[in-house]
Chain A
């Protein structure tokens, strides 16, 4: 628990910074726009409609879209990173525009026309009219819009984790994936607390503006909160993480620090800890961007935003290389490695020794009742069954591939978070699920995986990928190369279950330490 509290300040600081910059940008965009369109209804309608349409895009989708847009336009022509802060702040800015814009227009239109006429009649220029009359009189309504936008943005910013931006979402995503409820709740409470605090302060500003009282006190409180949040928070609580446990003597490394990536499921949280603990041994500092979307992680590596992460041969084979299944395991691995080296200058350290393949799993009791052994056995009865999959499953090539290969057509399909998918099968909410073969919860939930005699699902060797920057670094190689072939699927399953289970739950770091102990790596490189 105390570790959770200690980890919170940097997340909170980064979250606050993200929200603040997005809001400032949104105000800077919305206010001139509102002033421009307030007395031009023909212009106001399309502008407000566009802002409204942006608002209806789900937050996660908007963030993902920004990654694609920033990447596709060469960082908007400014060389911005399509990863982490830039796409996150752009998406949140777009998100915050509508409430500010709409309230500013309403506020400006609500100014008594007699006051405007008198002000014009006494010889005010348009600028003076705006500054002396319209803006001060519309201020309470404008402030209310900024307040609404702030509360929305604090909430929406938690979704910035999967695009690689550190924020309170890191606790929420990691907590959900590893079923660490106290971590999840810590993230939620911190985000809610931040939202409530900002809401109270902005509410005070709004009410004082409406009552024409001075607003210095709440503005002072806001400034204090911001300074505390951004300047002071990052300095407390962390520190301990960076301390190296250096024991091995190694030659001077060219690379002092490595940025690791991890996708959004337990195994990835454990493996990133494995890499981190190995790198710490040779005195290489580590930064982690976790809970990345699958495609985001690969793009981040390809563009040098992260230096290393673990991916799976079949995933790259299907989603990046657009190849089809039914290819032997060794051939997929070698072709993927050649393609990575040739097209991206990315180095693979080879298979870790296990596969985390997509597998089709059913409850043991159901399998016995329906005499299911292979995926093909599902075909005659699939019209009466329901299939559950993770977020990606139903849009992935593997799904199309097994449907085609075995002639499956399910009565119903449903998407679940991977953390809830196994439960859904165990409880009978769905009959068949897409599972990960190295997941300890298959056995723990008394599920069995069906055989794939037609090899419709490709092999998925877990492999460490290195970006060009660290590909030839002797220390990185010394730390990570020995992992090759040393992690069996049984070890990985047990390590995953240590984190996922409800009783005697371990942290990913503890599971990684256990895994490294069991893997019996050679001393030295």
Chain B
């Protein structure tokens, strides 16, 4: 469970990148934070694992304010995936996935068993001796997800994880992510600017515009009852696209 309570972030004196955001993500939910670039959605995500500290308000994870946990400890319990993946280029895939267990001081046997398990989970067994530059973009992002889950995190944060991928790879990865999310009963937050991705993947969507939360709800709630002109416009676009596609195949 992740709770945002009156969260604000100000980088420069007069501009709030995130302004007074409150909503609650339930345990086991897959939530998309949808917004344009510069809307503050990434800032919102990074405040959960304290890569960014809020100027105002509180974030609770499982009822406990993140401010009370040491940021290093906190980050080791929360999986984190970014668009550029950021695998360590000088280490093998196996060593990359094993990094957090190693930081946590797991023993060799437990770590290597976990690495094998995760590589199988993301569909890339027997890749453990390769180096990152020998993998395709899609494979690298699968490893990014495996790495984020290595220490049995129950929460996973993803920042535009499929942004740079071709459509086929993207859909395959979205499907894999959804499956992993359900199998491991994770609480997953995915930041995206892709309307279709948010609508097809998420249980609930938080729509962010210029630092403010416009609406938080299930895809069907948003489509049927947009609470705001911006959400309405966004949903209108989604509906139009779907209708055009339907008319083409009719």
Contact = CB atoms under 8 A, between A and B. Distances in A.
A120 B148 CA distance: 12
B82 interface: yes
A381 to B, nearest CB: 74
A118 B49 contact: no
Given A117-B51, A128-B103, A122 B88 contact: no
Interface stretch (B67-75, B211-219, B230-238): B67-75
Contacts of B9: none
A116 B51 CA distance: 12
B107 to A, nearest CB: 19
A117 B90 CA distance: 16
Interface string B201-226: 00000000000000000000000000
A524 interface: no
Given A114-B82, A114-B84, A122 B90 contact: no
Interface in B60-96: 72-77, 80, 82, 84-90
B82 A121 contact: yes
Nearest to A122: B100
A118 B75 contact: no
A119 B100 contact: no
A121 B72 contact: no
B147 interface: yes
B75 A122 contact: yes
A65 interface: no
Contacts of B72: 123-125
B85 A118 contact: yes
A4 interface: no
A24 interface: no
B82 A118 contact: yes
B147 A122 contact: yes
A118 B90 contact: no
Interface in A109-165: 112, 114-125, 128, 132-133, 136-137
Nearest to A114: B84
A491 to B, nearest CB: 71
Contacts of A122: 75-76, 80, 99-100, 103, 147-148
Contact of A121 (B49, B73, B88, B90): B49
Contacts of B85: 114, 118
A115 B89 contact: yes
Given A115-B89, A132-B88, A133-B88, A121 B80 contact: yes
Given A118-B82, A122-B80, A123-B76, 11 more contacts: A112-B84, A118-B80, A118-B84, A119-B86, A120-B51, A121-B51, A121-B75, A121-B86, A122-B99, A125-B72, A137-B89
Q: Give me the 4 closest cross-chain CB pairs, A-B, nearest first.
A: A118-B86, A123-B76, A114-B84, A123-B75
23 contacts: A114-B84, A114-B85, A115-B89, A117-B86, A118-B80, A118-B82, A118-B86, A120-B51, A120-B75, A121-B49, A121-B80, A121-B82, A122-B75, A122-B103, A122-B147, A123-B73, A123-B75, A123-B77, A124-B72, A132-B88, A137-B90, A212-B90, A212-B131
